[in-house]
Structure 1
Amino acid sequence: MYHPRLYGSFYEMGHKYGKLLYKKANFSIPEITTEKSNFGLKAYQELKNFYPEAIEEIEGFAAGINDKPEKLGAFLLSIPVLENTGQCSVFAYQGDNGVIVGRNYDMLFEFKKFTESSLIAPTGKYAYISQSDVFIGRSDGINEKGLSIAMAFVNGKNYVPGISFHFIIKKVLENCASTQEAIQLITTAKVASSNNFLVADKEGTLAIIESAPQKSHVIYPKKGTNYLYITNQFTSNTMKNYDAGGVAWSKSLVRYQSLAHKLAVTKNLDLAQAKAILSDKCVCLNLRKEKFGTIWSVVAKLNNLEIERAEAKPTLTNYKPETRLAWWLKRRAR
């Protein structure tokens, strides 16, 4: 797993990382089909309106690898569509120990070599720690305001040239300080594909946004409960018609039911218990035949920005503390 530290203007961050990958790994943009390229180019135009700062970062990265930003943008905006993506498990819990979040990212094992955990601190935006398997755009993260967001793929019935989840999450982390702000951003975006987003803030506001190109729906904890969880299906009656299913192979329902049971019987969840939940064989994927499973795992306490990460199949003992965000905030305060 790569561990870049990126700060400065959006163009500077992109150029620094692109130049580094070009020099160290001879990076070039992977080839994609004409269909995906056409889709990605249309989505790239949507991104210009949704988050022009991200376009600046793409332009900087493209300059760093000596290529065209439109080609890079088309690749990035086509990644989450026209093929399956991560099959993930996420939860958030508000209790006596504060707000605890946990996430397993499940993907093809071969993607381990592309994974990265980044400290990102754009000028004029919130700093954050986030994970991804693509160099621009995020799959989950926690920002300096104690806001957490993570996604889980849903096999939707429709795709449109719009904003991919990578850039939805990126913009949330860089601009939102609360769950309500994140909800407003996600539900008004022109999304490209279907996903579940689980958002939590340090004040204890938890929400699931079931998001599809057709519409979105927000779910809060039921009365008397203090937790939420997602895997890879829509659960509300409002959104079920937009879910094509086909995710039984990844044990999505088994993982969902396991999270439901474990969270229901857990009192005063702490980080150790969060690790145990994510490491459980009913939640942590290890599909050897499909060469697919959990390739990183994150737990965090949002109230004090205590973050730990396992950079492989999680166990109770292979998480390591993440200290770069604290380092950056101290540096910035000098």
Structure 2
Amino acid sequence: MNYYSDVFQYRGSHYYFGYYQGKLLKGSPIIHNRQKQWGPKKDRHFIIDKKLFEQVINRFSPAILEEIHGLADALEMSLTEAYRLFGGYYKEFVRSGCSIFTEPDFMVRNYDSHPVGYEGRYMFYQPTDQGYAVLGPSMQITGRIDGMNEKGLVLGYNFTHSKKSSDGFICNMIGRIVLENCANVDEAIDLLKEIPHRHSFSYVLLDRSGESYVIEASPRKVVSRKSNVCTNHFHLLDEENRYRQEETRQREKTIQEQQKHSTNPMQAFRVMNDPQYDVFSNKYDASAGTIHTSAYFPKEMKAWFVIGPNRMPVMFDFNKWLQGNQVLVKRMKGELDYSRPFVNMERL
């Protein structure tokens, strides 16, 4: 089936960025589809304590709270409902896979999940009030699946498990908060150790120093280690792992073996994006199929992105955009071996 991701770019305050997105969402099927998908689950699992959420988000990123207020105003929605939809705190999470490989000059990542939850939105945002400019694909509107900021900090994350969850932010909002507020790996590690985590994830970080770290984060403990490969299990927090780890450990070994022969970034990208190397996955019904492959180059300030397998990446020059040049790409197209649309494509 043919799929697409729209490219959006905005420069301005967080409130007006939220308002801008809200106006776009009024004409999109995303909100309708999200509410239909969550249905009765939202009142049981997507619990929002309005005052507590405001206290926590104000501590870590008050500007994002302004963005949510802008979304609420544009969508004529109560703040409680806006916090539930866009706050990234206390939310239910759908299981996903994901694989990440880094070299000193780049990170390449497969985002593996279920297509019916994918928003198809790739965002360029440069705030004029506070925080760093960030590019990357969105999740739940305000969050980011992976991305790079104007300081050259790159972040991606991989799911470990959602058992023994606790009050806290989910992965995509954590990614957004880190990228918008941290200039380098050290600052990101400190913030990841301070922020409350809803579920257990690995956050992979790379900056212009060329050092790559995997931060293993659960609601109970956060530790960091140097590594250039990450799949869906912890190395240090072994007690937090799922019982079955054969597939994720095998995928990690496959990446390590295949990437030994990569002589340049494009070859490393192909290892992740070409199914013949056994990293790209078609297991969409199991929420473990590869939807996009992305790459980030913190020293060059460039980003690559594709939907689906065996494709040449769309290449973005983030430096040029930061200097005021608009991106000319409006929509990125691809194909997946699946038959149901992303939530941005048609009303369910």
- Whether TM exceeds 0.5 here: the answer is yes
Give 1:158 shift: 1.6
Q: Aligned partners of 2:244 and 2:50: how far apart in 1?
A: 28
Q: Aligned partners of 2:141 and 2:42: how far apart in 1?
A: 20
Number of corresponding residues: 312
Correspondent of 1:276 among 270, 273, 283:
270
Q: What is the RMSD computed on CA atoms of the aligned residues?
A: 2.4
Amino acid at match of 1:243: N
Correspondent of 1:200 among 203, 206, 231:
206
Give 1:262 shift: 2.4
2:81 is the counterpart of 1:71: yes
The 4+ residue runs of structure 1 with deviation greater than 6 A are none
Equivalent in the alignment of 2:7: 3
Change (3 A) 1:115 1:24: closer
Q: Aligned partners of 2:176 and 2:18: how far apart in 1?
A: 14
Correspondent of 1:306 among 299, 302, 305:
302
2:229 is the counterpart of 1:229: yes
Change (3 A) 1:194 1:24: closer
Q: Aligned partners of 1:233 and 1:291: how far apart in 2?
A: 16
Map 1:317-332; keep pairs closer than 5 Å.
317-323=311-317, 325-331=318-324
Give 1:292 shift: 4.6
Equivalent in the alignment of 2:329: none
Is the CA contact 1:129–1:142 (under 8 Å) kept in the aligned structure 2?
A: yes
Give 1:60 shift: 0.6
Is the CA contact 2:110–2:293 (under 8 Å) kept in the aligned structure 1?
A: yes
Q: Aligned partners of 1:211 and 1:182: how far apart in 2?
A: 13
Change (3 A) 1:154 1:290: closer
Amino acid at match of 2:123: S
Secondary structure at the residue paired with 2:7?
Answer: coil
Change (3 A) 1:181 1:262: same
Q: Aligned partners of 1:91 and 1:63: how far apart in 2?
A: 40
* Structure 2 residues not aligned, in runs of 5+: 326-348
Give 1:13 shift: 0.5
Give 1:42 shift: 7.7
Is the CA contact 1:131–1:141 (under 8 Å) kept in the aligned structure 2?
A: yes
Change (3 A) 1:13 1:159: same
Secondary structure at the residue paired with 2:83?
Answer: helix
Give 1:127 shift: 1.1
Alignment deviations for residues 24-66 of structure 1 (CA, whole Å, 9 cap, x no partner):
5484562443222325758734323322211111111111111
Q: Aligned partners of 1:210 and 1:183: how far apart in 2?
A: 10
Give 1:246 shift: 4.9
Correspondent of 1:211 among 199, 217, 222:
217
Is the CA contact 1:40–1:73 (under 8 Å) kept in the aligned structure 2?
A: no
Equivalent in the alignment of 1:244: 242
Give 1:78 shift: 5.9
Amino acid at match of 2:121: E
Secondary structure at the residue paired with 2:46?
Answer: helix
Amino acid at match of 1:331: G
Change (3 A) 1:82 1:25: closer
Equivalent in the alignment of 1:36: 45
Secondary structure at the residue paired with 2:169?
Answer: coil
Q: What TM-score does the superposition give when structure 1 sets the normalisation length? A: 0.85
2:294 is the counterpart of 1:287: no
Larger relative contact order (C-alpha < 8 A, sep ≥ 6)? Answer: 2
Is the CA contact 1:142–1:148 (under 8 Å) kept in the aligned structure 2?
A: yes
Equivalent in the alignment of 1:297: 293
Q: Aligned partners of 1:245 and 1:60: how far apart in 2?
A: 43
* Structure 1 residues not aligned, in runs of 5+: 222-227
Is the CA contact 1:40–1:75 (under 8 Å) kept in the aligned structure 2?
A: no
Q: What TM-score does the superposition give when structure 2 sets the normalisation length? A: 0.82
Is the CA contact 2:88–2:140 (under 8 Å) kept in the aligned structure 1?
A: no
Is the CA contact 1:88–1:105 (under 8 Å) kept in the aligned structure 2?
A: yes
Q: Aligned partners of 1:183 and 1:298: how far apart in 2?
A: 22
Change (3 A) 1:70 1:235: same
Q: Aligned partners of 2:100 and 2:126: how far apart in 1?
A: 25
Alignment deviations for residues 198-229 of structure 1 (CA, whole Å, 9 cap, x no partner):
000011121110000000110014xxxxxx11
Is the CA contact 2:89–2:167 (under 8 Å) kept in the aligned structure 1?
A: no
Alignment deviations for residues 248-274 of structure 1 (CA, whole Å, 9 cap, x no partner):
6xx3223211112223x246x422112
Correspondent of 1:22 among 17, 20, 26:
26
Is the CA contact 1:156–1:243 (under 8 Å) kept in the aligned structure 2?
A: no
Secondary structure at the residue paired with 2:180?
Answer: helix
Give 1:305 shift: 1.2
